Amino acid sequence: MTGPAAPPLPPDLDALIRRMRLPYLRKAAPDVLATARAQRWEPAEVLRVLLAEEVTGRDAATRRMRRKTAGFPSGKTFSSWRPEESSVPGPTQDALATLEWIGRAENLVIAGPSGTGKSHLVEALAHAAIEKDLRVAWFTLETLTATMARAKADGSAARTVARICRSDLIVVDDIGMLPAGQDAAEAFYRITDAAYERRSVAVTSNIHPSKAHMFAATCARRRRVFTGSASRR
């Protein structure tokens, strides 16, 4: 059974909260005020709880927006990741999961055959980054190339690169799945060059970095946390 509903806010107070654009505080206020009256809270405690509700709500909304903006492909997180099945060493997985490498603007390159969990691991890291209030941009090489092609066509290439590089982590997934031409090479280079020592770039590929002539040379001179192959055990 549930107790009686808390009384609504007085209309003038409700109007003030709406005007101040505090939607999460407004939603919580009836129950919080009813509890405060029953338990004789100090005024400062009432204010603290109400403001905490607003902050929590805004933070959650920001993370939802950042997930939507990032454009993740499948929503895979660490909740479904099986670390024991990955050939990426356990200590390396643990180090990556701290996300400290993103704070140091270091890069990540994972290569291996299709179906070995490369994208899953990187997407899980990207979701974890958003939970830590970081910004993420997710591309395949194909979508990155298309984005830069549109930007070149309308003269907004520099602004587009700057917008992408406002993200703390930039992911380019599945390099090597499709043939890559000069436009793809240029798009990849522009982003990695602009992000150099400022933002982290994570790359997954089904070909070994030493054979990926389009991006191996670029990655070789960039600081990175882990470069290796992934496989199912």
Mean pLDDT across 195-210: 84
Q: How confident is the model at residue 221, as a pLDDT?
A: 46
Please give the helix or strand (H or E) that residue 227 lies within, else none.
Answer: strand 224-229
Q: Do 26 and 91 lie in a common domain? A: no
Q: Do 54 and 87 lie in a common domain? A: no
Mean pLDDT across 29-45: 94
Q: How confident is the model at residue 229, as a pLDDT?
A: 55
Chain CA centroid to CA 150, Å: 24
- Confirm if 88 and 202 have CB atoms less than 8 A apart: no
Q: Do 211 and 137 lie in a common domain? A: yes
Q: How confident is the model at residue 133, as a pLDDT?
A: 92
Domain boundary (41, 70, 99) is at 70
117 backbone dihedrals φ, ψ, rounded to 5° = 90, 15
Of 120, 118, 150, 124, which is closest to residue 136 (Cα–Cα)? 124
Q: Do 115 and 17 lie in a common domain? A: no
Letter string b/e over residues 81-105, b meaning 16 or more CB atoms within 10 A of that residue's CB: beeeebebeeeebeebeebebbeeb
106: left (phi over 0), alpha (psi -120 to 50) or beta: beta
**Is there a domain that residue 4 lies in?**
no
Average pLDDT, the chain: 86
Q: What is the distance between the alpha carbons of residues 7 and 133, in angstroms, rounded to a whole number?
A: 35
Mean pLDDT across 187-207: 90
Q: Do 181 and 224 lie in a common domain? A: yes
**Is there a domain that residue 47 lies in?**
yes
Q: Do 128 and 198 lie in a common domain? A: yes
| Model pLDDT for residues 112-126, shown as the tens digit of each residue | 877 778 899 999 999
Question: Is residue 3 very low, low, confident or very high in pLDDT (cuts 50, 70, 90)?
Answer: low
| Model pLDDT for residues 213-231, shown as the tens digit of each residue | 445 454 444 444 555 556 5
Indicate the number of domains in the chain.
Answer: 2
CA distances from 154 to 14, 52, 97, 183 (A): 46, 44, 39, 16
**Is there a domain that residue 6 lies in?**
no
Q: Do 158 and 185 lie in a common domain? A: yes
Question: Is residue 184 very low, low, confident or very high in pLDDT (cuts 50, 70, 90)?
Answer: confident
Q: Rounded to the nearest 5 degrees, what angle is found at the Cα of 21, between the Cα atoms of 17 and 25? A: 60
Enclosing domain of residue 44: 11-70
| Model pLDDT for residues 117-156, shown as the tens digit of each residue | 889 999 999 999 999 999 999 999 899 999 999 999 999 9
Q: How confident is the model at residue 223, as a pLDDT?
A: 47
Q: Do 129 and 183 lie in a common domain? A: yes
Q: Do 114 and 175 lie in a common domain? A: yes
Instruction: Report the CATH number at residue 164.
Output: 3.40.50.300
| Model pLDDT for residues 76-123, shown as the tens digit of each residue | 889 899 988 888 889 999 999 999 999 999 999 988 877 778 899 999
**Is there a domain that residue 2 lies in?**
no
- Which tokens go with 92? 């390396």
Q: Do 83 and 33 lie in a common domain? A: no
Chain CA centroid to CA 145, Å: 20
Q: How confident is the model at residue 226, as a pLDDT?
A: 52
Q: Tell the burial category of 229 from Cβ atoms under 10 Å away from its Cβ (0-12, 13-18, 19+).
A: middle
Q: Do 56 and 143 lie in a common domain? A: no
- Which tokens go with 44? 């400062």
pTM summary value:
0.77
Residue recorded with tokens 């009813």: 34
Q: Do 214 and 105 lie in a common domain? A: yes
